[in-house]
Copies of this chain bind each other. A is one copy, B any other.
Amino acid sequence: MVMEKSAWEKIIRYLRIRDKERTDILDDLLPQDLAEQIYRLSKEETIEVFSLLNNEEAALILGEMELEESAKAVALLSPKIAADMLSEMPYDDMTDLLGELDDDIAEGIISYMQKDDQEEVKGLLEYPKDSAGGIMTTEFISFKETITVKEAITKLREVAPSAETVYYLYTVDENDKLAGVVSLRELIVSQDEEVLSEIMRTTVLSVQANTDQEEVAHLVQKYNFLAVPVVDEGNKLLGIITVDDVMDVIEEETTEDILHLVGASEVEGSSLIDATVVSIAKTRLPWLIICLLGGLFSGSIISFFEETIDAVVALAFFMPVIMDMGGNVGAQSSTVFVRGVATGEIPESVMFKYFFKEIKVGILMGIICGITVSIAATLWQGSPLLGFVVGISMVCTVILATTIGTIIPIFFTKRGIDPAVTAGPFVTTIKDVTGLMIYFYIATIFMDKLM
């Protein structure tokens, strides 16, 4: 950790002053700002800061730290103190944090918790981390659909402090099944004597506990929800997922997609800064080895044209431009396509229409790049024929690269495989092989005249 003296002094000053002057430091300092500083402190400093915080403050700050960092901090504390602090956190954050700790440390902390907290947490820990159940909280507000607005507001005033969001109030029928939703806004503007079933919306979108978190994120984003309810198979309300957790999911999933595009991924359970060199290399090497084999395969294509190169060495000078352009055009096509599918801009119904347009784009770009490179080659090597060979190869390579860069992700998408993960190495190898084959094949045709 890089230590910033001023940050540390600022925190300690705040914490020491506040006992005299005010009881809640968080009036002046937002927990997120404090959270951002703490992870840079040494172990001893971290322990000192937490000893100066009350449980509520500590819970707020732990909830705002990066998960790996907060787990590290909690592991430094005694299980009893950690249990008291964690008890002030919403269940979803508490569960995430416990799930991040080593099993024995987590169990030690859980053993100091109150009975009902223990049960909630153990229940939540059973859901996979990246499922709706894994990110939901069980602190939601639900009312029987038969009570009045006035009764609801009165009850709300009693329970609100412990619920994570009060902006949606879910209504349940006599069997505790999800019946509808009333926003706090609708509640506030309704008449006291109205019954919830009269003002609630009955079209409630909900997700199952095992729904993938990415799907939940898309739902919240599409419908602009502040929260979405999680139900079991019998439509019984289990918990809710709030928009702040969804934003974290979107960031996480987008990062995953972007890294997959280049065959990298995050090191499970540690941040970029803390991951070991070996663990980082492990995430990237599989793709690199595939690329390495692809590169050797492309090279073997060249070996078939050994005589051609032997006769006209200048042909080798244009290999980089042919390969680079194929690579870049292919990357553009596949990235634009993969992103378009991810954002919903390219729905499945128009995929092939999009494909044909992309080929037209490839033809236009191919002709422009082909003319440019053939002029450059003619001027450089003083051979219009060589310029012609390079130019024609460029046109073919660019068109092929747009085709391959689009058709391979379409192929994976149609088969239900995430194209971001898989398309890259295939596109690279196929465009190299085809590009070089076209280039040397055309060159071989004109070889007599090129010599």
Contacts and interface: CB of A to CB of B under 8 A. Distances in A.
Interface in A201-240: 201-203, 205, 220-224, 226
A23 to B, nearest CB: 15
Given A188-B157, A288-B369, A365-B288, A320 B323 contact: yes
A300 interface: yes
A321 B309 CA distance: 18
B262 A335 contact: yes
Given A2-B353, A27-B203, A365 B258 contact: no
Contacts of A195: none
7 contacts: A224-B244, A254-B254, A258-B339, A280-B357, A280-B361, A284-B361, A291-B325
Contacts of A303: 314, 317
Interface string A271-302: 11100011011001101110110111011101
A30 interface: yes
Report copies per complex. Answer: 2
Contacts of A244: 224
B160 A361 contact: no
Contacts of A66: 345
A321 B296 contact: yes
Interface of A: 2, 4, 27-30, 32, 40, 66, 153, 156-157, 160-161, 166-167, 184-185, 188-189, 201-203, 205, 220-224, 226, 243-244, 247, 250-251, 254-255, 257-259, 261-264, 271-273, 277-278, 280-281, 284-285, 287-289, 291-292, 294-296, 298-300, 302-303, 306, 309-310, 313-314, 316-325, 327-329, 331-332, 335-336, 339-340, 343, 345-346, 349-350, 353-354, 357, 360-361, 364-365, 368-369, 372-373, 376, 380, 428, 432, 436
Given A184-B167, A205-B30, A324-B295, A263 B332 contact: yes
Contact of A188 (B153, B189, B273, B302): B153
Contacts of A184: 166-167, 184-185, 188
A112 to B, nearest CB: 28
A321 B292 contact: yes
A247 B221 contact: yes
A161 B188 contact: no
A201 B27 contact: yes
Nearest to A424: B328
A337 B3 CA distance: 21
Contacts of A263: 328, 332
Nearest to A360: B277
Contact of A273 (B156, B220, B353): B353
Nearest to A352: B2
A336 B267 CA distance: 11
Given A30-B203, A243-B247, A272-B345, 6 more contacts: A4-B349, A262-B335, A277-B360, A292-B321, A303-B317, A324-B428
B295 A202 contact: no
Contacts of A261: 258, 261, 335
A436 B324 CA distance: 13
A319 B300 CA distance: 11
